[in-house]
């Protein structure tokens, strides 16, 4: 499930990247493999923050994307991975600038 979430989180980052042009939170949603994800994104300083829920709002997640790493929680459990891990999945993700 964690590997699947990494793929999904990375997809969310790719979808959210154009929307994160300002410090205001941007809301969006998507479905992946039958699971609906809704989230907001914002940029604070040098990190991009993605907060949302999965599985019909039952599973919360929060990701903090930095220059080389992603850390946060999924279903209240800590997750962390590098942007290189995401890129290995074939997904182009831009970190906060």
Which pLDDT tens digit goes with each residue over 25-63?
A: 667 887 777 888 888 888 888 888 889 998 888 999 998
Q: CA-to-CA distance for 73 and 9, rounded, in angstroms? A: 11
Other CB atoms within a 10 A radius of the CB of residue 46 amount to: 11
Count CA atoms closer than 13 A to 47's CA, side-chain side.
13
Query: Are 42 and 25 within 8 A, CB to CB?
Result: yes
The tokens describing 38, both together, are: 């809704």
Choice between 1 and 68, residue whose per-residue pLDDT is larger: 68
- For position 77, what pLDDT does the model report? 92
From 4, 2, 46, 39, select the one nearest 19 (Cα to Cα). 39
pTM more than 0.85? no
- For position 21, what pLDDT does the model report? 43
Other CB atoms within a 10 A radius of the CB of residue 9 amount to: 27
Mean pLDDT value across the chain = 75
Q: CA-to-CA distance for 51 and 42, rounded, in angstroms? A: 9
Least confident of 19-33, 59-73, 77-91: 19-33
């Amino acid at each position: 499930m964690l590997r699947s979430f990494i793929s999904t989180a990375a997809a969310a980052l790719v979808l959210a990247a154009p929307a994160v042009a300002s410090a205001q939170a941007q809301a969006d949603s998507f479905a992946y493999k039958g699971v609906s994800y809704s989230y907001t994104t914002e940029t604070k300083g040098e990190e991009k923050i993605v907060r949302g829920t999965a599985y019909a709002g039952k599973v919360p997640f929060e990701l903090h994307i930095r220059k080389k790493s992603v850390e946060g929680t999924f279903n209240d459990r800590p997750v962390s991975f590098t942007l290189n891990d995401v890129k290995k999945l074939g997904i182009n993700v831009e970190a906060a600038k």
